[in-house]
């Protein structure tokens, strides 16, 4: 698109190389996990996760099923 500049990272070394901070990496990983979970819920109707020491299956309607204690 003409007139628009490409967004660049604020985290750049003095020689122009971009880098990741631990905080940025953790935030991006969490965001990706949330998006993947939402996609899986929409596709399969449930997700399997760990909650309070149990492996549980959470359904799209809000019901949960305990599968196995850890």
Q: What secondary structure, in 3-state letters, does 3-66 show?
A: CCCCCCCCCECCCCCECCCHHHHHHHHHHHHHHHHHHHHHHHCEEEEEECCEEEEEECCCCEEE
* Residue 32 contacts residue 25 (beta carbons within 8 Å): no
Query: Above 80 in pLDDT, residue 8?
Result: no
Percent of the chain, pLDDT > 90? Answer: 67
What is the value of pTM for the model shown? 0.60
Closest CA to 46 of 31, 35, 57: 57
Provide CB contacts within 8 A for 60, sequence distance 6+.
41, 42, 45, 46
- Mind listing the pLDDT tens digit for each residue in 33-46? 999 999 999 999 99
Tell me the per-residue pLDDT of 12-33, one tens digit each, with 9 for 90 and over.
878 888 888 899 899 999 999 9
| pLDDT band of 2, cuts 50, 70, 90 | low
């Amino acid at each position: 698109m003409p007139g628009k500049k490409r967004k660049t990272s604020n985290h750049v070394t003095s020689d122009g190389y971009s880098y990741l901070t631990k905080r940025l990496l953790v935030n991006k990983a969490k965001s990706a996990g949330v998006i993947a979970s939402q996609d899986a819920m929409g596709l399969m109707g449930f997700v399997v996760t760990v909650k309070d020491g149990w492996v549980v299956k959470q359904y799209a309607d809000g019901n949960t099923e305990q599968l196995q204690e850890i």
